[in-house]
Amino acid sequence: MFGPDSQFHRFFDDPRWALAMVRATVLEAAHPQIGAALIDNSTFVAHPWRRLRNTLVSLQRMFGADEQVRQREAARLNRLHTRISGTDARNRPYDAMDPQVRAWVVATLFESAVTMCRLSGQPLDQATMERLYAEFRAFLAALGDQTGQLPPTLPEFWRYYDRMVEEELENTEALRIVLYKLFDHLPAPPLLGGLPTVWAAGRALAGPVIGTITVASLPEPFRRRAGLPEVPGARTLMQSAYLAAGLARFLPDDWLRTEDLTNLLYLSADSDDPRAATLGALSARVKRAGALFRLVTPFPAPRPPADRNAPRRSADEFFTAVLDQTGDGYLDWPDLAAMARELSSRLDLDEPQETRLYDAYAQWWRELQSALDTDGDGRVSKDEYAAAVPSLAGPALIRVAEVLFDATDADGDGFIDAEEYRALFRTAFARTPTGPDPRYPRGAFVQDFLSFMSGRRPSTPFDPLLADA
């Protein structure tokens, strides 16, 4: 059911999978509970590339051949989902551990995989479809859920799927964001961060196309009930896109590895990856082409990226880039929980270290709420933050820094060495040694973290950790 011989593994590096993942995400977001959880807790709006990478890494772990890795990832996902619950705008409860909700997530992945094959002119035969369905039911079982939440046979599954589409799905706010806002405002990945004009032009063209293709691929009963627009020629465009993506299977295998492509998007100019030098030279040429492009197009030139050598950045910039992780314009507990979640994922923490980090962030949130929430609405606005706090370096934030250091210092020797540094920052050890020992001591780490989080000073390692898209 898992590993390189699984049907899912064959799909994972398939270019069509990108279209299928967007489609599955829309169907998930249309579920009232999932849509509410995404709006309240997810970083998919403010940090979509980070969210994509974490999702792909998780799927690789769950469908890989190593059973121990799968069990650790399942336990991590369950801990993450246990922390996500609440009520939506209509006061309806949601819970990320609801077995029926989790089953629907798996169902959308399976159905979208089947649909992508059909739309690209390569429909799955019955035996392959049944095997793929069995793999996704095994995925649900690996999470600890009863497989009975998904019907045991394919005919029963299609009846279940049709009922969910016709009775349960809604035109949620999360769905509208994915279809009509996310791609129109998608920030550039680190690789293209220095090419804002080129990225903006490409996004302006590709965003509406992706939205149109996705809407056209959704089940017709749901499109009608949700009032999603029918764009003339949309189905032809959709089928052409899936057919074109399917033709990419004739490219060399090493060109299409999802892991390699994702890592490539995360390369930055100061990366120690050997590919960074080549990409840097290519980027310089594209920048020169971009300057010419601006002369002949009506697109306004975006603001240049912030100067990392600037002594400070504004409170508004810091609030938007770092504190407001969910992108809703406010600072509240889900934003700090998202920080803890990202750091725990990077370091692949187990209990009890993960809980210690969450608890430290929870304590910091209580301190922030007490000091900054002047109107008592349970969250902190940009104005409240800018007006009330010249510095955030209170005892609770110091505790966050200390707990993060302990989690990064895997061998417990009181220093962060090169391997531990890479685990957290995903780049080579960047500190300039002041003596014979190039390791990162506890005091320096805590001071740098506090300077970044409270002094609002740009930091080469910490910015990609919490601020990049």
- DSSP assignment of 350-408, as one string? PTTHHHHHHHHHHHHHHHHHHHH-TT-SSSEEHHHHHHH-S---SHHHHHHHHHHHHHH
Q: Return the CATH architecture of domain 315-466.
A: Orthogonal Bundle (1.10)
**What local confidence, expressed as pLDDT, does residue 115 receive?**
95
Alpha-carbon distance of 441 to 414, in angstroms, equals: 7
Closest CA to 318 of 136, 177, 459: 459
**What local confidence, expressed as pLDDT, does residue 151 receive?**
95
Instruction: Render the burial of 199-234: b for 16+ CB within 10 Å, e for the rest.
Output: bbbebeeebeebbbbbbbbbbeebbeebebeeeeeb
Which residues touch 307 (CB under 8 Å, ≥6 apart)?
none
Alpha-carbon distance of 183 to 210, in angstroms, equals: 8
Alpha-carbon distance of 154 to 149, in angstroms, equals: 13
SS3 content of the chain, % helix, strand, coil (to 5): 65, 5, 35
Alpha-carbon distance of 262 to 243, in angstroms, equals: 23
Question: Maximum Cα–Cα distance for the chain, whole Å?
Answer: 69
pLDDT for 356-365, tens place per residue?
999 999 999 9
**What local confidence, expressed as pLDDT, does residue 49 receive?**
84
As to burial, measured by CB atoms within 10 angstroms (0-12 exposed, 13-18 middle, 19+ buried), residue 134 is middle
Alpha-carbon distance of 345 to 424, in angstroms, equals: 9
Tokens 């301190």 belong to: 367
pLDDT for 108-132, tens place per residue?
999 999 999 999 988 999 999 999 9
Write out residues in the chain with pLDDT < 50, as ranges.
Answer: 293-294, 296-311, 432-436
* Residue 285 to residues 88, 199, 292, Cα–Cα distance (Å): 48, 15, 11
Closest CA to 329 of 385, 374, 382, 372: 382
Alpha-carbon distance of 469 to 467, in angstroms, equals: 7
Instruction: Kindly report the average pLDDT of the chain as a whole number.
Output: 84
Residue 416: beta bridge partners? 440
- Cβ neighbours around 304 below 10 Å, total: 8
Angle between helices 418-425 and 333-347 (to 10 degrees): 140
* HSE, side-chain direction, 13 A CA sphere, residue 418: 8
What residue ranges do the domains of the chain occupy?
7-249, 315-466
Tokens 């949700």 belong to: 226
Instruction: Render the burial of 103-128: b for 16+ CB within 10 Å, e for the rest.
Output: bbbbbbbbbbbbbbbebbeeebeeee
Closest CA to 461 of 416, 413, 429: 429
Residue 84 tokens read as 């996500």
Residue type at 322 in one-letter notation: V
**What local confidence, expressed as pLDDT, does residue 312 receive?**
58
As to burial, measured by CB atoms within 10 angstroms (0-12 exposed, 13-18 middle, 19+ buried), residue 252 is exposed
